[in-house]
Amino acid sequence: MKKLCVGLMVVGLVALAGCSSSPTGGGGPAGGAFKIKGAPEMTKEIKHGSSEPFKLSISKDKNFKEDINLNATVAQPNKGVTATVEPSKLTGAEASEFTVTVKAADDAQEGEYTVNVVATPTGGGKETSLPFKVKVPAKK
């Protein structure tokens, strides 16, 4: 019984930690697939009036040559936390790295926020997304 409980605890902790890559996107007329990789597995704290860059990347298989539009949103809008992506578009020949910068305004509400990064192939096919969490602590 003890082994079963320990096993279930490990599975639960892995599920809580999250995953650092997205489901597969792509598969449009040109073929090929891609994923977003590199999101933090644990919630990152961002203090009021500051921002935090998150380095992510697109992992493409050799057949994927399309451009990809990138976007990031905060699931709890209008509470003082915003997310931007730079660059917002990756070309098929470009490097696959990009930065999502999450900013907590000076008047941001305390709490946990979900940032959702979406990658959409420009030639059609399936988009993919990768959420991660940030936390704004109580203002001191």
Residue 64 counted as domain residue: yes
Residue 86 counted as domain residue: yes
| CATH value at residue 79 | 2.60.40.10
Q: How many CA atoms lie within 13 A of 47 on its CB side?
A: 3
Spatial neighbors of 140 by CB under 8 A, at least 6 apart, are none
The answer to whether the Cα torsion of 6, 7, 11, 14 is positive or negative is: positive
The answer to whether the Cα torsion of 33, 94, 57, 81 is positive or negative is: negative
From first to last of the 140 residues of the chain, give the pLDDT tens digit: 444 333 433 333 333 334 455 545 555 555 678 899 998 888 999 999 999 999 999 998 888 888 999 999 999 888 999 999 999 999 876 668 999 999 999 999 999 999 999 999 988 888 999 999 999 999 87
Number of domains in the chain: 1
